Amino acid sequence: MEANTVIWIFILPLGAFILNGLIGKHLPGRTPGWIAVTAMGAATVITWIEVYRFVRLDEPAFYQHHFFTWLNITARITIKAGVLTDPLSLMMMAVVTTVSLLVFLYSIDYMKGEQGYARFFAFLSLFSFSMLGLVAAPNLIQLYMCWELVGLSSYLLIGFYYQKPEAVAAAKKAFIVTRFADFGFLTGILLLSGITGTIQIEELNHFSGIPDFFSQQATFLGLSSITWAMALIFIGGAGKSAMFPLHIWLPDAMEGPTPVSALIHAATMVVAGVFLVARLFPLYQAFAPQALDFIALIGAFSLLFAAIIACAQTDIKRILAFSTMSQIGYMMLALGAGGYAASLFHLFTHAFFKALLFLGAGAIIHVVHTQHIEQMGGLRKVMPVTHVLFLIACLAIAGIPPFAGFFSKDEILIAVYAHSKVYFAVALTGAALTAFYMFRLYFKVFWHQSKEVHAHPAPVLMMVPMIVLAVASVITGFTGFNLFYPLAGHHDFTVPFTSVIVALTGITTAGVLYLKKREKPEQRPLLYRVVQNKFYIDEVYLFVTKNIIFRSIAFPIAWFDRHVVDGFMNALARVTQSFSQKIKFLQSGQVQQYAWVFMAGAAALIFMLMFIVR
Amino acid sequence: MTGIPVEHLLIFSALMFFIGMYGFLTRKNLVTMLIGIELMLNAVNINLVVIDRFVYPKQTDGLFFAMFVIAVAAAEAAVAIAIFINLYRNIRSVDVEKVNEMKY
């Protein structure tokens, strides 16, 4: 691994961002898109070469290189920008560059003719740069900085249609919610570096347990300080990964353009939380088992919660958003249950099939001009290729062999089974619900009666990435991931057998309910409405912020500021003003009067000097 | 010079100073007020020279101070008279009580 080759992986997307951002507006036609694609393509090639060298040429499994010293804080704590490559970051870099490249390629035609075409590609390149910096970060500070940068690019891209009020609101919501979580992350970093005395990830993962600054035995509410630090870091990850109760931004983030949803809000950025926990996994395992239990709990709850909500949504992208949240719940649960490789395997496969689902949804929206699944139907005749690709992705996420999702979900189920039977039951229920809601979506969109849709074939540039992703969704189950981590073979087929049965049950139920007739009861049951409104979590947040925080805290404080603090200052000003109004007539404009005062003053001074001061 | 005692000289300069001050404070014509100022300045000059001569006969600081005052007084007179002329052109008067535009 050569440092001066690796650095191009970061420079190229950054260069595309700068170029498109500065002069993209003046470039003709689709040139900005091709600039971004070229840069990303080169970065992808370099990444895969590095992966190949890592696999074939027996490069050391761990490699660290610092490009430059960024901040010198103390003699012991210096922050250096650089790369850390180990199987985890190589795997993430491969996923990020590959999915980015395919989504960029797709966007060239998808975004054609949009206002701000160059801006779009500039932001996408910025995102890829930040995400690569994040996954390759050798220390927590660089990781945190890139973490905020991906948050920023996510904000910019959700609000891409900035003339749409919903998009602006969604962008703000995403930024504020994740910012709120990042506060936990930052506190966690400070606490952790206070305990361990280092910010280097590899030193952290080999932490001896001897505290540096203050004792790790220091406890708060019965948990050790290091557990608190790790839990706080997880909260940052939970915000980015849309875990309950910080998930509210993800469905709204679908206001952004569909390729953005595919890249950022499905395949790469939202799994940053999983990556973060995986990055510090040795530390979690050795020092913070309670934090891991917490992660498992949140993951299990989120996966079931999101899966239930996804069953009652009618917006195609929102269904996919909740499904993303549910799948990340699986990854978190697997990490909490100790299934490190299983979790990353699912991250790897999920990136491909979820990106495919979103790109497929984008192709559908491109043709039917609506996101409402009740207004679609019979599309299998209109767009046969997309239909097949979408079906592959649905089967992959539902966990049907031989598609990728089956293998990775299977690994997770085995890991969870060994950990806890309750979580296993939750994960199985989630698997059934996943199959159900995905095929509800599939049947509603592609079957039913045909509609009058002006079918124009999707451009080749949109089809190619989808085909590549579909191939990846099939083969990554067999190969690909074991480049990075060897997976243990299993010979017990109870768990996989159960999971397939469960998934098939879900698909069959969806088929029975949605394949033929379209039920339209006048009065939906109460439970359905509760689920459709996402358990009213948004309303709870609104209630808490509006009624509790604004009414009882913010308004009184604002009143105090306006009337007491400002009032005091205003009173001071008013007294000064009226006093000066009274004495201003001393300024008569008569020079001789002034001279009298002056002389009297001089005389008084002389008198004092002569007789009083001495 | 040897014949005149120092007290006489100091009394003379004090009288001159207060005459100038009286003129400055009571006259309404700006030009006469300026003359009052000149009287005060020259009273100070006499004081400086006398103190130099009788108290520090080996040094010349007082003499140079007096010369500075003369130079500054010349400049001041030039500026003041220029102002008076312009004032007269504007309000047809050099009465100090009419020059009160700069009040509150």
A49–chain B Cβ distance below 8 A for any pair: no
pLDDT at A444 over 90: no
Question: In this structure, what CATH number is given to the domain that contains residue B33?
Answer: 1.10.287.3510
Cβ-Cβ contacts under 8 Å, A592 against chain B: 24-26, 33, 96
pLDDT at A432 over 80: yes
pLDDT at A160 over 70: yes
Smallest CA-to-CA distance from A258 within A326, A142, A167, A349 is with A167
Are the Cβ atoms of A599 and B97 closer than 8 angstroms?
Answer: no
The sign of the dihedral angle between the CA atoms of A63, A69, A70, A76 is positive
**Closest Cβ–Cβ partner in A585, A591, A595 for B104:** A585
B100 belongs to a structural domain: no
Q: Are A379 and A364 in contact (CB under 8 A)?
A: yes
Smallest CA-to-CA distance from A320 within A290, A291, A292, A360 is with A360
**For residue A255, what are its two tokens?**
């206001």
- One DSSP character per residue, A193-260 reads HHHHS--BHHHHHT--S--SSS-TT-EETTEEHHHHHHHHHHHHHHHHTT-TTS-THHHHGGGS-HHH
Number of domains in chain B: 1
Are the Cβ atoms of A590 and B97 closer than 8 angstroms?
Answer: yes
Average pLDDT over residues A571-592: 89
pLDDT at A180 over 70: yes
pLDDT at B67 over 70: yes
pLDDT of residue B37: 93
pLDDT of residue A455: 62
Cβ-Cβ contacts under 8 Å, A591 against chain B: 96, 99
**Residue A505 identity (one-letter amino acid):** T
Are the Cβ atoms of B25 and A592 closer than 8 angstroms?
Answer: yes
User: How many contacts does A have with B, using Cβ atoms within 8 A?
Assistant: 29
B104 belongs to a structural domain: no
Work out the pLDDT band at A212, boundaries 50, 70, 90.
low
pLDDT at A34 over 70: yes
Are the Cβ atoms of A589 and B25 closer than 8 angstroms?
Answer: no
A541/A522 Cα distance (integer angstroms): 30
Give the contacts of A607 (CB within 8 A, at least 6 positions apart): none
pLDDT digits (tens, 9 = 90+) for A330-385: 899 998 888 888 888 888 888 888 889 988 888 888 887 777 777 777 777 777 88
Looking at the complex, report in whole angstroms how far the Cα of residue A169 sits from the nearest Cα belonging to chain B.
55
A433/A452 Cα distance (integer angstroms): 31
Phi, psi of A226 (to 5 degrees): -70, -35
Question: Least CA distance to B37: which residue of chain A?
Answer: A595
**Closest Cβ–Cβ partner in A584, A591, A596 for B96:** A591
Determine the structural domain holding residue B40 and report its residue range: 6-92
Helix (H) / strand (E) containing A508: helix A494-514
Looking at the complex, report in whole angstroms how far the Cα of residue B98 sits from the nearest Cα belonging to chain A.
8
**Closest Cβ–Cβ partner in A585, A589, A596 for B100:** A589
B1 belongs to a structural domain: no
Question: Least CA distance to A594: which residue of chain B?
Answer: B25
B34 belongs to a structural domain: yes
Are the Cβ atoms of A589 and B99 closer than 8 angstroms?
Answer: yes
Cβ-Cβ contacts under 8 Å, B33 against chain A: 592
B21 belongs to a structural domain: yes
Are the Cβ atoms of A590 and B96 closer than 8 angstroms?
Answer: yes
Report chain B's mean pLDDT, rounded to a whole number: 90
Q: What percent of chain A has pLDDT over 90?
A: 11
Q: Which residue has the tokens 């979690």?
A: A284
A495/A342 Cα distance (integer angstroms): 14
Question: Least CA distance to B22: which residue of chain A?
Answer: A596
A148/A79 Cα distance (integer angstroms): 17
B101 belongs to a structural domain: no
Looking at the complex, report in whole angstroms how far the Cα of residue B102 sits from the nearest Cα belonging to chain A.
5
Give this prediction's pTM.
0.76
Smallest CA-to-CA distance from A414 within A481, A338, A505, A349 is with A338
Work out the pLDDT band at B44, boundaries 50, 70, 90.
very high
pLDDT at A504 over 90: no
Q: Which residue has the tokens 């989504």?
A: A103
| A591-597: long-range pairs with CB below 8 Å, 24+ | A591/B96, A591/B99, A592/B24, A592/B25, A592/B26, A592/B33, A592/B96, A595/B24, A595/B25, A596/B25
Q: Are A30 and A37 in contact (CB under 8 A)?
A: no
Are the Cβ atoms of B104 and A590 closer than 8 angstroms?
Answer: no
Looking at the complex, report in whole angstroms how far the Cα of residue A584 sits from the nearest Cα belonging to chain B.
6
Which is more confident, A107 or A69? A107
**For residue A62, what are its two tokens?**
């761990």
Are the Cβ atoms of B24 and A587 closer than 8 angstroms?
Answer: no
pLDDT digits (tens, 9 = 90+) for A582-595: 888 888 888 888 89
Task: Report A:537-596 residues touching B (Cβ under 8 A).
Answer: 584-585, 587-592, 595-596
Top mean pLDDT of A133-142, A403-412, A472-481 is at A133-142
Are the Cβ atoms of B99 and A591 closer than 8 angstroms?
Answer: yes
Under DSSP, the state recorded for B102 is T
B99 belongs to a structural domain: no
A545-568 burial: b if 16+ Cβ within 10 Å, else e: eeeeeeeeeeeeeeeeeeeeeeee
pLDDT of residue B21: 93
Question: Least CA distance to B103: which residue of chain A?
Answer: A589
Q: Which of B17, B19, B21, B25 to mutate to test the interface with A (most CBs of A within 10 A)?
A: B25
Smallest CA-to-CA distance from A346 within A401, A290, A413 is with A413
Average pLDDT over residues A301-313: 86
Cβ-Cβ contacts under 8 Å, A596 against chain B: 25
pLDDT at A280 over 60: yes
Phi, psi of A372 (to 5 degrees): -85, 120
B98 belongs to a structural domain: no
- One DSSP character per residue, A61-89 reads S-EEEEEEEEEE-SSS-EEEEEEEESHHH
Report chain A's mean pLDDT, rounded to a whole number: 83
pLDDT at B87 over 60: yes
Helix (H) / strand (E) containing A539: helix A537-543
Smallest CA-to-CA distance from A451 within A524, A372, A395 is with A372
pLDDT at B40 over 90: yes
